[in-house]
Amino acid sequence: MRPVIIAANWKMHTTPAEAGELARTIAARMREPSVTRVICPPFVCLAAVRDALGAAGEDVAVGAQNVHHELYGAYTGEVSAPMLEGLATWVIIGHSERRQYFGETDDTVNKKLKVALDAGVTPIVCVGEVLEEREAGITDDVLRRQCNIGFRGISGERAARLVVAYEPVWAIGTGKVASPEQAQEIHHLIREVLREMHPGSKKGAKGGPRGTSVAEKVRILYGGSVKPANAKEILQQPDIDGVLVGGASLDPRAFGEIVKAAL
Ligand code: PGA
């Protein structure tokens, strides 16, 4: 069983003064020990959210929304993985908004993933097709490319720590949600690609049980207009291990209901 993850992506919302209070309110509404909870506020709010959750004794992880692929240097405005120490234990990498507006590619995603793993930060790597790609019938090819390049060069042991978020770009912030079947199909494909990349141990020499492969360990989240009304059906799919929530994660009531849908 892969533990369910419910992650909030606040995007470019909240000031430090607002963020602590919002994090505390949200955490109080989503108290479920069986669910891994993660809140990803803007960089400038990380300390406020960490402090507020710590003071309230809430076991909620804090994540950043991006990280630079170099460790330090002349990169004005950027934040590196070692700089997250003490502030964030998770990080979103390659969100479609970063690919769309900030020129991120499968290659930069791969570099960012490696520095995050080196720093001991849990990466949530986002993949997903745009509408034109879905309409052209090349969704599988796009996802295969994103995974093959984005996750390349990583040992099985490290790859098992990976969290992937399948976020069809046409479903982000649009109110359009992939059907549970559409989402399951792509999650299954992502697991298949991971299995190809990390075939895992074969049957034990004495006919013992098969080793758990990387693909079985990686948690794959769905993202894109997740709301209380659609969360349950999405989370019931066998290859969907949680959700990454944007808009609804700023509303404590809605986000609390999404967490309950995971039970
Ligand atoms: P949304 O965003 O829930 O507002 O569609 C999801 C995301 O971008 O991670």
Q: How far apart are CA 244 and CA 195, in angstroms?
A: 23
Q: Could you say which DSSP state residue 77 is in? A: T
Cα 125 to Cα 123: distance, rounded to the nearest angstrom: 6
Please give the Cα distance from 122 to 61 (Å, whole number): 10
Q: What's the CA-to-centroid distance between 17 and ligand 1, angstroms?
A: 23
Q: Are the beta carbons of 24 and 255 closer than 8 angstroms?
A: no
Q: What is the pLDDT of residues 38-83, one digit of tens each?
A: 999 999 999 999 999 999 999 999 999 999 999 999 999 999 999 9
pTM for this model (two decimals): 0.95
Nearest alpha carbon, ligand 1 atom 3: 246
Query: Do 54 and 22 form a contact (C-beta atoms < 8 A)?
Result: no
Q: Is 40 in the pocket of ligand 1 (CB under 6 A)?
A: no
**Residue 171 C-alpha to ligand 1 middle, in angstroms?**
8
**Per-residue three-class SS string for 14-37:** CCHHHHHHHHHHHHHHCCCCCEEE
Is residue 245 within 6 Å of ligand 1 at its C-beta? Answer: yes
Residue 62: strand, helix, or coil = strand
Atom of ligand 1 nearest to the CA of 11: 8
> Residue 32's pLDDT is what?
83
Q: Flag whether pLDDT at 201 surpasses 80.
A: no
3-state secondary structure of 185: helix
Is 244 a pocket residue for ligand 1 (Cβ < 6 Å)? yes
Following CA atoms 24, 29, 34, 36 in sequence, which dihedral angle do they give, to the nearest 10 degrees? -40
**pLDDT of amino acid 263:** 87
CA 233 to chain centre: 19
pLDDT at 211: 52
Centroid of ligand 1 to alpha carbon of 213 (angstroms): 29
| Residues 246 and 39: beta-carbon distance below 8 Å | no
pLDDT of residue 202: 54
Return d(Cα 99, Cα 246) in angstroms, integer: 16
**Predicted local distance difference test score (pLDDT) of residue 173:** 85
Would you say the CB of residue 254 lies under 6 angstroms from ligand 1? no
Position 187 pLDDT exceeds 60: yes
Report the residue among 164, 169, 226 best suited for mutation to probe ligand 1: largest number of ligand atoms under 8 A from its CB.
226
Angle between helices 228-235 and 180-197 (to 10 degrees): 40
Supply the mean pLDDT for the chain: 94
**pLDDT tens-digit readout, 87-113:** 999 999 999 999 999 999 999 999 999
Backbone φ and ψ for 155, nearest 5 degrees, come out as -65, 160
pLDDT score at 205: 43
Is the distance from the beta carbon of residue 30 to the nearest atom of ligand 1 less than 6 Å?
no
Q: Ligand 1 atom closest to Cα of 224?
A: 5
Q: Ligand 1, from 225, 243, 255: best to mutate by most atoms within 8 Å of Cβ? A: 225
What's the N-to-C CA distance of the chain in angstroms?
13
At what angle are helices 139-150 and 106-118 packed, to 10 degrees?
A: 40
